[in-house]
Structures are given as C-alpha cells and as structure tokens.
C-alpha cells in the first residue's frame, strides 16, 4: 500500500502552487487532467517506498500551461487554472481535507491583498529554469510577471 507524502499548497487568482515534500524522489509520475484530477506517484528512500496522491482539484485546470520542477527535497507544481478566479478550497470534496494536505504559508497571499504590489519571485523560485510540462515532457520555464496575489 502506498503512503501519502506531505503536500503544501497556495493559490493566486490564476494559478496554484502545489509542493510535494518528498526527499530523494525517484520514478516521479504526474498526471493532470483538464477536469482537475491531480495524480502523483513516486518512490523514495533506500527501500523505494511507494508514495501516491490522487485528488480532485476544486475546478478545471489548463494542463498545457502547468509546469513541474523536481529537486532533491521536493517536487513543485505550478498549476494554471482554467478560469482566473479564487477557489474556496483546493479540493472538490467538502469537509475536512486529508491530513497530508497543508497550506503553504510561505506562498500564501490573502485575496484582499490582490491589489497590493506583491513580488512573486519567491513563490516562483521553486519552478526552476528546467521544468516539466504536465504531460511529463521537458520544456523551458517561463517566469511569471510580478502581479498581485491573494488567498486560498
């Protein structure tokens, strides 16, 4: 049976930041579908312990504009929303979120701060020059412009 790694998330009106905390991840697989299904699997550790996440995001996403970056400590996903709007929560399901899902307070910006000048260089720092598109192929990363951010 697979385990669940710690997953941190934050949002802006047009995108999601999803960070999977899994040191030394191997065999990383990501599948995003336009309806919002987010599937992640990988192995980690000397025993190649399997980890897996299969969640339904709150709304539709743009798979072609979504990117991933894998480092030795974590896997960062920049998921582009299909519609530029604030989500009330990350998941479609109502109620208490899974225990492995946490808010990423380092990237959190309140919705009412959207009109304030906000430097996103820290939040996009995890998405390095070499990224992977949502379909798994390598592609050149684009740097997000400085734009206002808000809460989840």
Q: What is the pLDDT of residues 117-152, one digit of tens each?
A: 455 544 455 454 444 444 454 443 333 333 334 343
The answer to whether the CB of 49 falls within 8 A of the CB of 41 is no
Whether residue 148 lies inside any domain: the answer is: no
Whether residue 151 lies inside any domain: the answer is: no
Read off the pLDDT of residues 65-110 as tens digits, 9 standing for 90 and up: 999 999 999 999 999 999 999 999 999 999 999 999 999 999 988 8
Whether residue 145 lies inside any domain: the answer is: no
Whether residue 47 lies inside any domain: the answer is: yes
Q: Which domain holds residue 74?
A: 6-140
The answer on pLDDT for 19 being more than 80 is yes
Q: Which of 103, 69, 92, 85 is nearest to 15 (CA)?
A: 85
Which has more pLDDT, 143 or 111?
111
The answer to whether the CB of 53 falls within 8 A of the CB of 73 is no
Residue 106's domain is classified under what CATH number? Answer: 2.60.40.790
pTM of the model: 0.76
Tell me what pLDDT residue 129 has.
41
Rounded distance, CA 75 to CA 68, Å? Answer: 7
Rounded distance, CA 126 to CA 123, Å? Answer: 7
The answer on pLDDT for 115 being more than 70 is no
- Burial class of residue 96 (count of CB atoms within 10 Å of its CB; 0-12, 13-18, 19+): exposed
Whether residue 46 lies inside any domain: the answer is: yes
Structural domain count, the chain: 1
Whether residue 64 lies inside any domain: the answer is: yes
Whether residue 66 lies inside any domain: the answer is: yes
Whether residue 78 lies inside any domain: the answer is: yes
Tell me what pLDDT residue 55 has.
96
Q: Which of 131, 126, 117, 135 is nearest to 39 (CA)?
A: 135
Rounded distance, CA 67 to CA 72, Å? Answer: 17
């Amino acid at each position: 049976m697979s385990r669940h790694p710690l997953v941190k998330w934050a949002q802006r009106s047009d995108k999601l930041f999803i960070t999977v905390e899994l040191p030394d991840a191997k065999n990383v697989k990501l599948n995003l579908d336009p309806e919002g299904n987010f599937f992640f699997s990988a192995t980690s550790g000397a025993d190649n312990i399997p980890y897996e996440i299969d969640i339904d995001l709150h709304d539709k996403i743009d798979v072609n504009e979504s990117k991933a970056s894998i480092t030795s400590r974590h896997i960062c996903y920049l998921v582009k929303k299909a519609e530029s709007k604030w989500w009330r929560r990350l998941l479609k399901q109502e109620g208490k979120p899974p225990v492995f899902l946490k808010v990423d307070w380092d990237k959190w910006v309140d919705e009412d701060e959207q009109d304030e000048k906000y430097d996103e260089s820290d939040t996009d720092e995890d998405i390095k020059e070499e990224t992977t598109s949502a379909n798994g192929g390598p592609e050149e990363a684009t740097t997000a412009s400085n734009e206002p951010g808000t809460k989840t």
